[in-house]
């Protein structure tokens, strides 16, 4: 690859939500921006998390100079332990982002060899031919940054996730001036968040939730239970301040909630008023009107704190009639059933549920809406534009937005999906060759528990058609079957003595009888013959195709 070519390689997060990861290559040098996970769709049975396939980076391991993290959400940092287990590269991010990463690395036993480098907005680092400046942006998690990546061909702006919040709760404004400065000097390529491109207007400020929370704190006559994303430090700060103001003590429930609040407090990002904290074990002993409980588990995850509270299965909190439960979060697509089921359990306990869209809101998004995306495009005025972070419909709409603005200097726009590359040189920009990408499914969150496609296929097969287990006892001396074969089934037909299974036993017996002594002496051959004949019979009789696993016992 010639030294004068810049290659943009999306490894995940384009054409899908989650798994955000992108490589930039110039000559023999590569930097990686983010390494996130996504939570599995319902058809990925038994899979806990899904991460990008990092084959491209492993194939060019000697070229990878470092990993740069924009912020601490799981869809941007969740796959860091998996990447660092194969590539020993330095990691750069803000102090809070790296503190969240440390917890993940510790869980996976790869913290000792990790090279973590904390940066602040305004800092610059140099990695090979790349110079990276960190630019403060506002988002639903603190310490988020955009990246200005200077390459020999020009500047690439990567926005990360953002919204333009004019009144952030910590009073640290989005650094629009630095973006505008780069725009004046000339930007080669803009990579911009597309999550909320289909929402008109502006995303509301984080402060917009305060009036609703004030109303809830003043109106709730009993216990107030609030569930929000554990990473929403700004929201947690407002809850703590209001609890102090209205004379309530606050308890945190849920492992992620406890971890993140502890980290944020230790870094001075979360201020806890004196005498406000309440130990979880003391919740039920306090007068209900004096308690606010902040719980993780907004998405109805089966073993999360809120899911357990909803069915009276939490050791520190059970709901009582008149309690108020607030879901201060959005429903992530795909989680609707689990969340509504959890909400039904809460309602059955006589609690008042507050959720959904209302004015004033109980939740605001952390992503930019249409007008903010226009603002960034107009400030940066890139020569080329590639939308990132979204499904194809969002990427397509974001490109239309850029084309309709018709600002001076925009030469071309590209819609890329994971694996589709963009090449830029002194002649211009064009699509490059595709690279190997894909999904790696993980069970139990362990580095060793990679789930192959064939396992997912078998799980789906089992879930749809069940399995049939023909058990045959063969005399090792005579090679003959000892009595009629037994057939065990699960998820196929009810009971083991139905007519269809009796006929199936006869089919297996016939297969054994019509086989030669030589075939009967080769168990591999016999298993395949039994599977084929039984499959044909069951498919013809039931129009179903259960998983057939013949078991041959030597007696």
Answer for the pair 144, 160: CB distance below 8 angstroms, yes or no: yes
- Output the six-digit token pair for 380: 């940066």
Cis peptide, bond prior to residue 360, ω within 30 of zero: yes
Q: Is 157 helix (H, G, I), strand (E, B) or coil?
A: strand
Q: Is 403 helix (H, G, I), strand (E, B) or coil?
A: helix
Pairwise CA distance, residues 191 & 122, whole Å: 19
Answer for the pair 4, 426: CB distance below 8 angstroms, yes or no: yes
Of 366, 296, 299, nearest in space to 332 by CA: 299
Q: Is 248 helix (H, G, I), strand (E, B) or coil?
A: coil
Answer for the pair 40, 75: CB distance below 8 angstroms, yes or no: no
Answer for the pair 160, 70: CB distance below 8 angstroms, yes or no: yes
The string of DSSP codes covering 416-455 is --TT--EEEETTEEEE-------EEEESTT-TT-EEPHHH
CB atoms within 10 A of CB 403: 12
> Under 8 Å CB-to-CB from 536, ≥6 apart: which residues?
none
State the Cα torsion 436-442-447-451 to the nearest 10°.
Answer: -70
The structure tokens 């004949």 sit at 533
Which of 76, 139, 363, 367 is catalytic? The answer is 367
Pairwise CA distance, residues 530 & 542, whole Å: 18
Of 430, 377, 415, 406, nearest in space to 157 by CA: 377
Of 270, 323, 268, 263, nearest in space to 293 by CA: 323
Pairwise CA distance, residues 521 & 527, whole Å: 11
The strand pairing partners of 489, in sequence order, are 468
Pairwise CA distance, residues 375 & 165, whole Å: 12
Pairwise CA distance, residues 116 & 91, whole Å: 5
Answer for the pair 66, 89: CB distance below 8 angstroms, yes or no: yes
Which of 161, 193, 323, 533 is catalytic? The answer is 193
- Output the six-digit token pair for 281: 């074990």
Answer for the pair 70, 158: CB distance below 8 angstroms, yes or no: yes
Using the 8-state DSSP alphabet, how is residue 273 labeled? -
Pairwise CA distance, residues 155 & 188, whole Å: 5
The strand pairing partners of 144, in sequence order, are 137
Residue 496 bears catalytic tag: no
Answer for the pair 235, 141: CB distance below 8 angstroms, yes or no: no
- Output the six-digit token pair for 366: 């952390």
Residue 367 bears catalytic tag: yes
The structure tokens 């809850």 sit at 239
Active site residues: 193, 367
């Amino acid at each position: 690859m010639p030294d004068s070519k810049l290659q943009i390689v999306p490894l995940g997060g384009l054409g899908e939500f989650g798994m955000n990861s992108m490589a930039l290559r110039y000559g023999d040098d590569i930097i990686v921006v983010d390494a996130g996970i996504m939570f599995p769709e319902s058809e990925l049975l038994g899979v806990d998390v899904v991460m990008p396939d990092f084959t491209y980076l492993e194939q060019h391991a000697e070229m990878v100079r470092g990993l740069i993290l924009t912020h601490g959400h799981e869809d941007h940092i969740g796959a860091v332990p998996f990447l660092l287990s194969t590539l020993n590269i330095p990691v750069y991010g803000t102090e809070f982002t790296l503190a969240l990463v440390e917890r993940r690395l510790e869980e996976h036993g790869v913290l000792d060899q990790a090279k973590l480098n904390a940066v602040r907005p305004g800092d610059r680092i140099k990695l090979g031919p790349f110079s990276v400046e960190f630019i403060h942006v506002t988002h639903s998690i603190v310490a988020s940054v955009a990246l200005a990546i200077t390459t020999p061909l020009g500047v690439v702006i990567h926005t990360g996730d953002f919204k333009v919040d004019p009144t952030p709760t910590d009073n640290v404004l989005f650094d629009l001036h630095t973006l505008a400065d780069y725009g004046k000097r000339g930007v080669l390529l803009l990579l911009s968040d597309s999550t909320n491109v289909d929402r008109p207007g502006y995303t509301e400020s984080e402060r917009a939730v305060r009036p609703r929370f004030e109303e809830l704190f003043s109106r709730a006559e009993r216990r107030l239970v609030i569930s929000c994303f554990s990473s929403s430090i700004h929201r947690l700060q407002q809850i703590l301040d209001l609890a102090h103001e209205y004379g309530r003590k606050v308890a945190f429930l849920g492992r992620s909630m406890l971890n993140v609040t502890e980290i944020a407090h230790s870094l001075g990002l979360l201020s806890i008023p004196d005498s406000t904290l309440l130990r979880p074990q003391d919740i039920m002993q306090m007068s209900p009107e004096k308690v606010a409980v902040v719980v993780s588990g907004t998405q109805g995850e089966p073993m999360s704190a809120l899911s357990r509270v909803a069915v009276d299965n939490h050791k520190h909190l059970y709901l009582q009639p008149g309690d108020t439960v607030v879901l201060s979060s959005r429903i992530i697509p795909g989680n609707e059933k689990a969340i509504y089921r959890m909400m039904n359990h809460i309602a059955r306990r006589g609690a008042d549920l507050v959720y959904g869209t209302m004015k004033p809101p109980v939740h605001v998004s952390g992503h930019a809406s249409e007008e903010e995306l226009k603002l960034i495009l107009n400030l940066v005025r890139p020569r080329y534009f590639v939308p990132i972070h979204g499904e194809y419909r969002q990427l397509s709409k974001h490109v239309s937005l850029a084309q309709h603005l018709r600002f001076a200097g925009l030469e071309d726009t590209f819609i890329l999906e994971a694996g589709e590359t963009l090449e830029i040189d002194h002649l211009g920009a064009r699509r490059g060759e595709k690279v190997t990408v894909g999904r790696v499914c993980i069970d139990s969150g362990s580095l060793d528990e990679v789930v192959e496609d064939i396992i997912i296929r078998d799980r789906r097969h089992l879930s749809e058609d069940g399995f049939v287990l023909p058990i045959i006892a063969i005399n090792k001396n005579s090679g003959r079957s000892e009595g009629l074969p037994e057939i065990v089934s699960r998820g196929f037909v009810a009971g083991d003595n139905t007519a269809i299974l009796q006929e199936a036993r006869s089919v297996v017996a016939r297969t054994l009888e019509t086989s030669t002594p030589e075939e009967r002496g080769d168990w591999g051959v016999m298993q395949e013959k039994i599977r084929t004949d039984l499959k044909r019979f069951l498919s013809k009789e039931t129009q179903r195709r259960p998983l057939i696993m013949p078991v041959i016992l030597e007696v």
